[in-house]
Amino acid sequence: MNQAENNINQFLSEDRIILDLSTTSRKRLFEHIAQVSSGNLDKISEDCVFKTITERERLGSTGLGKGIAVPHGRIESLEQPVISIIRLKQPIDYDAPDGRPVWLVVGLLVPAEANETHLKLLSMLASCFQDSNFVEALKSCQTPDQVSELFEGVKR
């Protein structure tokens, strides 16, 4: 699968971008990710998405540090990657490696057999979040369209 050669936006739609969500815990956050990510997907339920990212999180925190997390997982019946972006109104505790609360969460789901694509997308996202200008631009986005435009330039 060579899809990650293109850009993040081919797996992200504006209906999967939520800005300034109020939530109080990782569990509630994962419920939101499941709801947003499973919308418009045949054969993939919210429960399946929730279970997938929760099980992955049990292996270790998907917090990257600097207030950003990328909960992710593989789903057997998924046909192509799905990315969702949630910016929180108030940061929440996430057990991140640097101990900082999380304000930005990128949910990443990939087909079960898409190992290379999974790693490439994780790498691309991590590279974005190492760029302080990109992160600051993301903080100031007012609409899902602006977030989408920002990620449009992310290619590998």
**26, 32, 72, 120: the active-site residue:** 72
Extract the tokens encoding 44: 């993939």
Q: What is the C-alpha to C-alpha distance for residues 111 and 73, in angstroms, rounded to an integer?
A: 9
**Which residue reads 């990212």 in tokens?**
53
Q: What is the C-alpha to C-alpha distance for residues 58 and 78, in angstroms, rounded to an integer?
A: 22
Q: What is the C-alpha to C-alpha distance for residues 147 and 138, in angstroms, rounded to an integer?
A: 6
The yes-or-no answer on residue 32 being catalytic is no
The H-or-E segment that residue 130 falls in is helix 115-130
Q: What is the C-alpha to C-alpha distance for residues 121 and 110, in angstroms, rounded to an integer?
A: 9
82-92 vs 12-21, strand pairing mode: parallel
What residues are labeled active site? 72
